[in-house]
Chains A and B, each alone.
Chain A
């Protein structure tokens, strides 16, 4: 009670001052504001943007926890592998262990903390300068970023990328709701193009692999897409179950398809994310995968081709490796940068899935096309919407041809007169 009153008094005190947005951000985090309706509907539904964003974060938490365990697991698995021991993943046997958790937490949580601290600092700064409230968009972005980068990404690199992504990707357009590109993917793209050696190869996906490289304890871990792109699919020791449950190397949060699937179902059920985008993206990916499988079956591509590895990869398995599932569920469904019409969402999603697999197959240097596909479709989303809305406009124009426009008083006479004089 007294906390509530004290905060209220502080809010009144800071009203109109420069620091008010910063204070309000913290205040509204604790208490839903005492704002009442002024115009229009006097009652409002309970949902607000904070609740919406919070729901997405809830859907991400299991993925984050899995990512923490997997970071530890992949490290110890790689150490074993370097000693010639091949590990078989087992959830309760060697995955959910304290050892893995502590190792993973020490590597993953700093990423989360840096992402949030830097990103929110930029958001607060812009809110104070521009005098608007701190918007909630970064709550989700800040959680997505650590989940889509390699586990050993240096923290300073992440900080630089976050500043770039939030400022150039979002704030210059006017903040949450105005941006054209998904901020989390802008950050990922910045990292990819600015520091390519840290973003691909067989050393970045496992903790300490870079530090130990060249030494006697050298360890490595290649992603499945990496193996396939290099035509080394046969050397892989991962089963389909490993891929589905996520005991494979990859970016922190992208590996566990089953948890992503559950998160996606939760988002669909809570009506926060669009099922149309998710479903059509899955269809798009499957269609492209089937086309490539068909090309291989038809014998147009032989085993000597450098595309053979990924082209012959079973079409449905594309969905359970790499970042495709994560991208479809958490990134493609961003309402601000995606298509905004229901019909447009079908096209938008389909092309994300379709182009993701296309890029995967034809880009051997970096066989992960999801983030590029989504960024590309972010750019085209307004175009898709434009044509969908055009359809509605044309329907209205067509209907208007049969409009019954009755004369105004006096106008009828004027027209009669006109007709006589002509």
Chain B
């Protein structure tokens, strides 16, 4: 069964630096790292001490609030460093990889015959659970709550993001296994969204409701799809999983091993030859960044796509949830009369002497300049043009800023994640940090209401 979803509001951001469809194996990283900022809202409690030897898939720490939730090492090796920040908060765990890899092995689980409890226990102990996120609050799913349904987006509209149909090719079995198993965890449906018209490996998945989505970004964001398919009401919980993580979950179920291998797209205008690399979660980005080469000295490396990713460095590590690494030029330079001269080489949502509307398919080379200073909200009506959800974006942002819990709830904060506001943030004339505002709003609501 399939239903069509057509998104009209939105904006495609076409950038130079899409990955060429060839995949190389990245050089093995010496050191792997787990960055704890990837796991929002987790209070980690270490299980192993610095200097301990761990196997691949062996737990490193657990979540203090949900003690079953384990976080495991991507490789076997020695935990060489626990990087701490202010108030001894753990920031990063670094593991020096062994030459020969040893895995923690579990008995494989047949997805079809397994019970829900078995699947849940397997995911929790193997370290795959954190791949499952929940809404409301956009945090790692609480295993004690049964979700209304599970959403997976296999339609990509984010700028320069990895093409799932290419990157996940040949992994159909793993994906099918994961979808079947996840289906046990909810009394509702598993919704999978695919692009309309294209050939998707997801189109034949059994046990899932397939939706065909078309339209500009943010049609590919799972939040947009939830809002159109079955919006979240107060009190309801849905889970979301990134399509590429189904492969790791599926492989775990079929082989009993946690194998965090992933095909990652290295993209961006600062990369000489943008393409795909096979690597592991936590690998040093330099292991594949310099294989493709960079064409400028002053660049920014981003874990994820340019709208939602997090800033890192060439010696940073591939994030837990990311299958794209974007490298774009830094924009820390002044531009003479940048605010009033006609602009042809940057994207704009207006036509105020900006001409990107003339060529909607032209590809641009954008840098990290804000193109203006931070201001109070002034202009109205522009966010609505790129925000397809049935929510008033400006009013919700303002409710979050003034910490009005009632208003935040009523205006639909339960339905959104920070990434849903990445496009409004992109076009914001007042250069307000939308994603941060929403994140803080969600955290406040979680703290006060839970």
Contact = CB atoms under 8 A, between A and B. Distances in A.
A268 to B, nearest CB: 10
B5 interface: no
14 contacts: A28-B373, A41-B308, A42-B306, A45-B348, A46-B346, A47-B371, A50-B372, A336-B378, A395-B390, A396-B412, A405-B236, A406-B145, A406-B146, A409-B145
A40 B397 CA distance: 14
A397 B412 CA distance: 10
A270 B410 CA distance: 33
A31 B332 CA distance: 12
Contacts of B374: 133
Given A36-B370, A43-B368, A45-B349, A403 B332 contact: no
Interface in A117-138: 133, 135-137
A271 interface: yes
Given A32-B369, A271-B352, A50 B307 contact: no
A393 interface: yes
A84 interface: no
Interface in A10-49: 28-49
| Nearest 6 A/B pairs, CB to CB | A48-B372, A32-B338, A177-B376, A40-B435, A403-B233, A50-B339
B259 interface: no
A341 interface: yes
Nearest to B411: A393
Contact of A47 (B143, B159, B352): B352
B391 interface: yes
A400 interface: yes
Interface stretch (A51-59, A188-196, A362-370): A51-59
Given A51-B372, A406-B187, A345 B381 contact: yes
Given A41-B426, A400-B234, A389 B372 contact: no
Contacts of A45: 346-349, 371, 426-428
A392 interface: yes
Interface string A322-347: 00000000000001101011100100
B261 interface: no
Interface of B: 13, 15, 143-148, 159, 187-188, 231, 233-237, 300, 302, 306-309, 311, 326, 328, 330-340, 343, 346-354, 356, 366-382, 384, 390-392, 394-395, 410-412, 418, 421-422, 425-431, 433-436
Contacts of A397: 410
A392 B389 CA distance: 12
B350 A47 contact: yes
Contact of B430 (A30, A49, A345, A400): A49
Given A34-B334, A43-B328, A335-B380, A48 B339 contact: yes
Contact of A396 (B144, B336, B380, B410): B410
Nearest to B369: A36
Contacts of B376: 135, 174-178
A274 interface: yes
A39 B375 contact: no
A399 B392 contact: no
B309 to A, nearest CB: 7
Contacts of A40: 307-308, 418, 421-422, 425, 433-436
A347 to B, nearest CB: 14
Interface in A160-212: 174-178
A404 interface: yes
A87 interface: no
Given A47-B348, A51-B429, A403-B234, 19 more contacts: A31-B335, A33-B334, A36-B330, A41-B422, A46-B343, A47-B354, A51-B340, A135-B376, A174-B376, A178-B376, A270-B351, A335-B379, A340-B380, A385-B395, A389-B392, A397-B410, A400-B234, A405-B236, A406-B187
Nearest to B399: A389
A316 interface: no
A52 B379 contact: yes
A136 B434 CA distance: 21
Contact of B235 (A37, A41, A403): A403
B302 A42 contact: yes
A392 B390 contact: yes
Select the residue from A4, A133, A270 with max chain B CB neighbours within 10 A. Answer: A270
A151 B218 CA distance: 51
A176 B410 CA distance: 28
A340 B370 contact: no
A271 B351 contact: yes
Contacts of B337: 30-32
A276 B356 CA distance: 24
Contacts of B235: 400, 403, 405
Contacts of B392: 341, 389, 392
Given A404-B148, A406-B146, A49 B391 contact: no
A8 interface: yes
B349 A271 contact: yes
Contacts, number: 253
Nearest to B13: A43
A406 B147 contact: yes
A176 to B, nearest CB: 6
A269 B358 CA distance: 13
B352 A34 contact: no
Nearest to A29: B339
A403 B348 CA distance: 39
A34 B372 CA distance: 9
Contacts of B371: 32, 44-48
Nearest to A406: B146
A214 interface: no
Given A41-B426, A43-B366, A408 B352 contact: no
A48 B373 contact: yes
Contacts of B421: 40
A159 interface: no
A216 interface: no
Contacts of A218: none
A39 B436 CA distance: 7
A272 interface: yes
Contact of B332 (A34, A44, A174): A34
B372 A33 contact: yes
A299 interface: no
Select the residue from A31, A33, A37 with max chain B CB neighbours within 10 A. Answer: A37
Nearest to B15: A43
A410 interface: yes
A50 B340 CA distance: 8
Contact of A37 (B145, B148, B335, B370): B370
Contacts of A406: 145-148, 187, 237
Nearest to A43: B366
B350 A342 contact: no
Contacts of A385: 395
Select the residue from A177, A345, A395 with max chain B CB neighbours within 10 A. Answer: A177
A49 B234 CA distance: 36
A407 interface: yes
Nearest to B436: A39
A341 B421 CA distance: 18
Select the residue from B370, B377, B426 with max chain A CB neighbours within 10 A. Answer: B370
A136 B380 CA distance: 16
Nearest to A136: B375
Nearest to B395: A389
